[in-house]
Amino acid sequence: MIKFKLKTTHFSFPSNQLFVLFHPKTTKQFNIKIGSSLKNLETEKTFHVIESELIEPDFVYLPQDVADDLMLKEGQSLSFLATSHSTITDLVHKQIRKESLTKKDFENLITAVNSYSFVPEQLAAFGMGLELVGLTDEETALMAEAIYTASQVLDLSVDAPIVDKHSIGGIAGNRITPIIVPIIAAAGIYIPKVSTRAITSSAGSIDCVELFMPTDLTLEEMREVVLKTNGCIVDGEHVELGKAADILIKSLSPLKLDPKPFLVASILAKKKAASSEFVLIDLPTGKLAKVADKKEARILANLFTTIGMKLGMYVECVVSPGDRPIGHLIGPALEAKDALMVLENNPNASEDLKKKALALSGLIFEMTKRTSTNRGVDLAKSILESGKALEKLKEIITAQGGDPSVTSEVIPTAPYSDVIKAEKEDVVYNLDSVAITAIARAAGAPQDPLAGIELLVDRGDHIRPQQALFKIYSSSETRLSEAVQRSYVRPPVILEKMVLDVIRPRETSHFELS
């Protein structure tokens, strides 16, 4: 154990991790390695070591805001113990040797992750091991249980069913959460929805919902809203249910790793932490989606249902179309507007978005025995068309601190836009969800909530010359121009082709025409 007097500094570090600063003379004297971790005994927090010659030797330095948050005072004596990164390294080597991972292995992993006792390379190696070696069903359940056990838990203690739905994403639009939550809540079923922001897509549920109500609630505030209204839509980053899973997701996303066992374990651990008893998982399936075909979807669905049972939850999975966007408005504000239009029974709302929201709501009603088989959609439709869903959303908005008078008409529109038109008469063969997302992100989404793309045609439409195909929105003229250029590189509207490709011989010298 080593002790130092605390000094504070106005240095700041934009990171989830905590840092302490030492002068190089101090690290050399006490054999402290840069990048290593020290556990502070006063706060039970783990800090990562960095050096600076701009500070004095023989002291430990903390950013002023961190010291304030931890209620530490300048001049206070702090005790530190060196911590080891061996936990995750040992796991990686077990993966390499293809040895079984135990309950203790996963408990140690989650403890290390929650305390930030790791370096990014270790989690990257562990994630690669998950991708290449995988986990058995038993190991997946153990990982989920470890994430849940180390998490905060939403305690509702109610008699009515507690449900949740989750989409694994991968397609543009699909903003059904703001529609499903009030439909289910209006039926007297509890649905504590914890959502996220976009990572690789053009909008996440929180990016959209925060345009008409606050989502940064604490866990206790979330509980109060759910008990009062039966539902909520809150930002997972604030309530920290399954915090370790979020840390792992952020570490793996730059590598574009999304190992299926971890996907299942993290989703279901969070649902259990939210006290969910019934969970509906949406698996968009198609060539350009995260799940390529029905065979792969069934394998993943069986894993979800199996691990759900091991965790004490009833889980059903629905295989939905993932070969095209859901909804014709893509981007945070546009998707918020579309969802509100569905709830308002506006005839201009996206019909496919409405149908999917009703279909999934119906399945939730059926799995909770609120209706008989094949009658769930009827109940969902009656709640939506009667205005009860919209009324329930306004209750939730009020409880979360928003303005219940919000309508689709008041959702702001970007100041700049451009319409792309057809060059000739043709037929729309398909809509490219990947291209749509790329264009919306090029326009600034999700950081620019007003950026996005409006689809003006659908599959099978016969189009004429100069007919509008889609409209791009942005708050920046420069970003708008970039998005327009990108739309020509990979068009979001795929027109019908009689010839898909031409393959020619690599060597043609022997067939030269005279």
Active site residue ranges? 258
Say how far apart CA 316 and CA 298 lie, in whole Å. Answer: 11
Please, what sign has the CA dihedral across residues 346, 349, 355, 357? negative
- What are the backbone angles phi and psi of residue 309, rounded to the nearest 5°? -60, -40
Pairing relationship of beta strands 468-474 and 231-235 according to DSSP bridges: unpaired
192: left (phi over 0), alpha (psi -120 to 50) or beta: beta
Cβ count within 10 A of residue 224: 15
CA dihedral 385, 390, 392, 397 (to 10 degrees): 170
Say how far apart CA 170 and CA 165 lie, in whole Å. Answer: 16
Q: 285-324: b or e for each residue (b if 16 or more CB lie within 10 Å)?
A: bbebbbbeeeebbeebbebbbbbbeebebbbbbbbbebbb
Give the containing element (helix H, strand E) for 2.
strand 2-9
Say how far apart CA 342 and CA 330 lie, in whole Å. Answer: 15
Say how far apart CA 136 and CA 343 lie, in whole Å. Answer: 42
**Alpha carbon 309 to chain centroid, angstroms:** 24
**CB distance 461 to 449 below 8 Å:** no
Say how far apart CA 178 and CA 444 lie, in whole Å. Answer: 23
* Residue indicated by tokens 């016969």: 462
Please, what sign has the CA dihedral across residues 439, 124, 250, 242? positive
Q: Is the peptide bond before 446 cis (omega within 30 degrees of 0)?
A: yes
Give whole-number Cα distances, 423 to 19, 427, 463, in Å. 57, 12, 10
Say how far apart CA 104 and CA 110 lie, in whole Å. Answer: 10
Helices (H), 240-373: 243-252, 260-273, 294-310, 332-343, 351-367
**CB distance 464 to 423 below 8 Å:** no
**CB distance 263 to 183 below 8 Å:** no
Say how far apart CA 187 and CA 230 lie, in whole Å. Answer: 9
Say how far apart CA 280 and CA 317 lie, in whole Å. Answer: 6
Give the residue among 296, 276, 269, 272 at the shortest CA–CA distance from 284.
296
